[in-house]
Every structure is written in C-alpha cells, then in structure tokens.
Amino acid sequence: METRVYIETHGCQMNVADTERAATGLRKAGYQITESADTADVVLLNTCSVRERAERKVFTRVGEIRHNAEAHKPVIGVMGCVAQLEGEAIFDNAASIQMVIGTRATDRIASLIERIKDGERTVIDLAERQDGENWDVSPVERHSPHVAFVPIIEGCNKFCSFCIVPYSRGRENSRPAVEIVKEVQRLIQLGYKEIHLIGQNVNSYRPRSSEGLKSFSGATPFCKLVRAVAETGMPRIKFTTSFPRDFHPDIVAAIEEYSNLCDWIHLPVQSGSDRILRLMRRGHNAASYLEKISVIKRASRRLSLTSDIIVGFPGETERDFEDTLALVRECQYDGLYIFKYSQRPGTPAAKFDDTVSVAEKKARFLELETVQREIQNRIYRNYLGKSLSVLVEGRSTRSESDMTGHSTCHKVMNFRGEPGLEGQILNVAVTEAKTNSLYGELLG
Ligand code: SAH
Ligand code: F3S
C-alpha cells in the first residue's frame, strides 16, 4: 500500500509554497498526499519561528497528533524554520519526532522517509539546496486553483536586529527570470487568474544571470522582472514583501504602465522612531520611508498600502511609540499587521534589555490598533458606491448565500452569489464597509 503523507502548514506564504513543492516531490516519488493527520503514516509539520508563540505551537501540535493517532503512531517530522534553527535539539525535546527537515531540504523528503522505513531511528537534513533542483509545483498541490504563489527569491541578507529569518532561511537566492516567466505562462494555461510573486524581500531580487530580463526596461532587476511577468498577460499580479530601503520609484512606474500589476503594495515600516529604526538596523528612517510613500500616493491610480509594525522593541519609550502613531496617521494604511516584540534567541536584539513590560506592549498594541481602526474605517467607507474587480475564490465562511474573494487592491470582498462563480473576475459594487472587509452586490 502507498505510504500516506500529511503536511500541515504554519506561518508565511513561503511555507505554503514550500509545502506545495514538497508535496509535488513526494507524489512523484510514489507517496500519497492525504488531508488528515489521523490516518496518515507520516505527518510533517511545516513550522514558523518568527515569534516565540509560533515556535511553541510545534510541540503542542506534536502532542495532539500523537494523542489523536494513538493506534497507528505515525512517523512525525518537523520541517521549515523551527527545524532549521533547532536541528538535532528537536529530537531531545520531543522523542516522538523522527525527522528534522531544514528549509532547503524540501526536495529530499522522499529519501529521508525511505531511510526511516529502512530502520533508522531519526534522520536530519539541514543542508543547502542542490544544483539542478528547481521550483516544480504540480497544480494539484497548489493551495488554490485560482491564486498561485510564485517564489522569486528565497532567504534574506538584511539581518534586521529583531528577526530570525536570515538564520532560518539563509542567504538571498534569486530564481532565474526565465524559470519564473515560464511558470507564470504555465499558470495562465492552467486557468490561474492571479499570482503573488513572493519572497522575504521581492525587490531585492538579483538573479545570477540577466537572461530573460534584457529586453525589459527597469531601474532594478525586480522592476524588469515585474514588467516581464506583466507581459505574459496573467490577469492579476501581486507581490509581497517589499523592503523599504530597496523600494525603487520605478516599481510605481511599472504599476502605472501595466493594468495587470495590481494596486496594492505591502511595505513594512516596523517603527516610526528613527532611534528605534537604527537599533532595528532597518536601513531606513522615517523620512526616507515617507519619501517612498509619497511616490506611492502620487500614482494616478490609488494604490492600496499595508504595513507591519512591531511595538515594544527593547528600549522603546513612550516618545518612540508616539512617533510610530504619528507615522501611521501620516501613511493612512489600508491595513496594518501589528506585532508585540518577541525576543528571538541568536538575533542581535536578543542581547538588548527587553525593557518594555508585557503590560506596556499590550497597551501600545491596543492603542495602535484603535488608531489604525479609525483610519481603516474611513478608507473602507470611501469605497461605498464604488465598483471593484473581484476574483471569486469560494463560498464565504460567514454566510451560506455569500461568496468571497479579493479585489485588486487586496481587500476581502463578500457578496451575495451562488457557488459556480469561483475563478471568475467580476465587478462588485460596494454597499457596506466593515473594518476588515467590504460587502457588495454583483454588477450584471
Ligand atoms: N520580509 C519578511 C518579514 C518576515 S517577518 C516578509 O516577507 O514579510 C513578518 C513580520 O513579522 C515582520 O515584518 C515583523 O513586523 C514581524 N516580526 C519579525 N520578527 C519579529 C519579532 N522578533 N517580534 C515581533 N515581530 C516580529
Ligand atoms: Fe526579517 Fe528584516 Fe529580512 S524583517 S526577513 S531580516 S528584511
């Protein structure tokens, strides 16, 4: 009988993409991919370590899986960032874990499982990607039949002082442009309507060869790449995440040139205080960030803007936090992900005194959330009466009679509609504005 493998994905879009890639390889090697941990022979947890809470979740999940699948005791493996960072130590922490699969070992999982089958008690692979491995994802493994994630750059060289990602995902490694464009063309043939070019810092894209980019204009390789991808005719193209220091105004110019480059930019600022930004080693200050924002705001189409902020970074004073509030008011974000600082062992900031108390972090989180909610309510109300182009992704979880999707500006849009509309791009008139979503009526 075929060995059944279940992969559970936590964390960011890159983990979703890695799971798709791992599942593709496993199926090719003769494994069956299943949807339930309870009946699987092998359970793999694709993990996140960006904050402490995410990391702790791994061990709780392992306990639950062991408990629920008591009878047949599946082989349990940990992949992703926690695997890469903790390595061998994972075996000591949880005796039921038999496989540790690092962030660049996604193409070698089948052979690791074989070794367990052959009687090895534990296996571990923290090595780099091998030459010749390429990002091959079969459509059946994609998380959606309409929206596809296309990784363009792995890893991170920025070493922001709070962040574990450069340690868990290694150095920046850009995929060849020809390979990316070919994948997008294949996705068009398969009927995909939207792609997200993904990477920790998409605009730091710097492939070893300029093959596939030469005939495109652009101030940076990323600007050339987005134009090359736009030329494929993929209906909707989004990209995340952009790194402020490397955000070139030519990206906005490209969005102006191609209507299929969507009107949404995610540009994490982290703090509004120059003192904290320096300690975070972000490579930008409030003024240089706001310059980039003003280019975005001057675009002829209104571009939706979202960001990430960390509250309670070591040494953050009430004054620093006020600078953050002021910057958020000035930027008028369409959406904001707020995080309480979480100390990550091994990062430079872990050596700083974590001076902001849990209670202060919480208070700042709530205050910022309130400020953002007011801004967002106003922005969302501004959509009332307007029509948005929506890619229908499925039935709404809230109501049986509603469908849901995203606008080009990456707003969640729900509307009265029947199943069967999935995968279509439709115009929806906004009739109601909520804090985090819009509601509307299908236009004929
Ligand atoms: N460039 C990456 C960032 C990855 S981490 C990207 O693709 O989005 C996502 C967000 O988590 C960061 O922007 C930051 O706001 C937050 N974050 C990272 N490390 C953190 C930490 N130690 N504590 C709290 N939040 C953190
Ligand atoms: Fe992390 Fe900064 Fe890179 S937030 S992912 S080190 S750009």
Candidates 292, 196, 182, 300; CA nearest to 244 is 292
Q: Characterize the bridge pairing of strands 437-442 and 425-433.
A: antiparallel
Distance (Å) from CA 352 to ligand 1 centroid: 18
- How far apart are the CA of 39 and the centre of ligand 1, in A? 34
Closest ligand to 339 CA? 1
Inter-residue contact 404 to 412 (CB < 8 Å):
yes
pLDDT interval class at 355 (50, 70, 90): confident
The closest ligand to the CA of 282 turns out to be 2
The mean pLDDT value for 370-397 works out to 97
* C-alpha 201 to ligand 2 mean position (Å): 8
Other beta carbons within 10 angstroms of residue 38's beta carbon come to 14
Q: Is 65 helix (H, G, I), strand (E, B) or coil?
A: helix
Helices (H), 33-144: 52-68, 81-86, 89-93, 109-117
Radius of gyration, alpha carbons of the chain: 22
Yes or no: say if 174 and 225 are a contact pair by the CB < 8 Å rule.
no
Q: Is 71 helix (H, G, I), strand (E, B) or coil?
A: coil
Query: Strands, DSSP E only, in 199-284?
Result: 236-240, 264-266
CB 360 within 8 A of CB 314: no
Give per-residue pLDDT as tens, 280-302. 999 999 999 999 999 999 999 99
Q: Pull the structure tokens for residue 267.
A: 């540009």
**For the CA of 270, the nearest atom of ligand 2:** 4
CATH number of the structural domain 142-381 = 3.80.30.20
Inter-CA distances, 258 with 23, 144, 201, 429, Å: 34, 25, 21, 24
Q: What sign has the CA pseudo-torsion 140, 154, 338, 372? A: negative
CA of 268 to the centre of ligand 2 (A): 10
CB neighbourhood size of 81 (10 A): 28
Sorting pLDDT into bands at 50, 70 and 90, what band is 135? confident
* Vertex 370: Cα angle to 365 and 373 (nearest 5): 120
pLDDT for 134 equals 80
pLDDT tens, 169-207? 999 999 999 999 999 999 999 999 999 999 999 999 999
Cβ–ligand 2 contact at 59 (below 6 Å): no
Residue 133 has pLDDT above 90, yes or no: no
Q: Percent of the chain beyond pLDDT 70?
A: 100
136 pLDDT exceeds 90? no
Whether the per-residue pLDDT at 84 is higher than 90: the answer is yes
Cα of 432 from ligand 1 centre, angstroms: 32
The H or E element spanning position 310 is strand 304-311
- Report the nearest-CA residue for atom 10 of ligand 1: 308
Single pTM value for the model: 0.97
Q: How far apart are CA 320 and CA 376, in angstroms?
A: 23
Alpha carbon 29 to its chain centroid, in Å, reads: 28
Q: Is the pLDDT of residue 311 over 90?
A: yes
Q: What is the DSSP string of 134-174?
A: -----GGGSS-SSEEEEE-EES-----TT--HHHHH-S-EE
Q: Residue 46 is encoded by which pair of tokens?
A: 């694709």
**Could you report how far apart the first and last alpha carbons of the chain are, in Å?**
51
Q: Quickly state the pLDDT bin for 332 (edges 50, 70, 90).
A: very high
| CATH 3.40.50.880 is held by the domain 387-442 | no
| Domain assignments of the chain as residue spans, ordered by start | 4-125, 142-381, 387-442
Compute the distance between CA of residue 225 and CA of residue 242 in angstroms, rounded to an integer.
14
Question: Which residue carries 């279509």 as its tokens?
Answer: 424
Which of 160, 172, 308 most suits a substitution to test ligand 1, by most atoms within 8 Å of the C-beta? 308
Q: Which of 106, 130, 150 is nearest to 18 (CA)?
A: 106
Residue 237 region by backbone torsions, left for phi larger than 0, else alpha for psi between -120 and 50, else beta: beta
Distance 341 CA to ligand 1 centre (A): 9
pLDDT computed for residue 24 by the predictor: 97
Contact 159 CB / ligand 2 (< 6 Å): yes
Which range among 69-73, 198-202, 348-352 shows the weakest confidence by mean pLDDT? 69-73
Atom of ligand 1 nearest to the CA of 165: 4
Q: Could you tell which of 159, 241, 245 is best to mutate to test the pocket of ligand 2, judged by most ligand atoms within 8 Å of the CB?
A: 159
C-alpha 281 – ligand 2 centre gap (Å): 10
Q: Tell me if 102 sits within 8 A of 109, measured CB to CB.
A: no
Average pLDDT of every residue of the chain: 96
Q: Give Dmax (Cα) for the chain.
A: 65
Q: What pLDDT sits at residue 6?
A: 97
Q: What contacts 294, CB < 8 A, 6 or more positions away?
A: none
For residues 7-33, give the mean pLDDT: 97
Q: Residue 339: enclosing H or E segment and its boundaries?
A: strand 335-340
Q: What is the reported pLDDT for 396?
A: 93
Q: What confidence score (pLDDT) does residue 296 get? A: 98
4-125 topology per CATH: Rossmann fold (3.40.50)
Q: Please name which of 180, 176, 173 lies closest in space to residue 229, comparing C-alpha atoms.
A: 180
Ligand 2 pocket residue status of 165, Cβ below 6 Å: yes
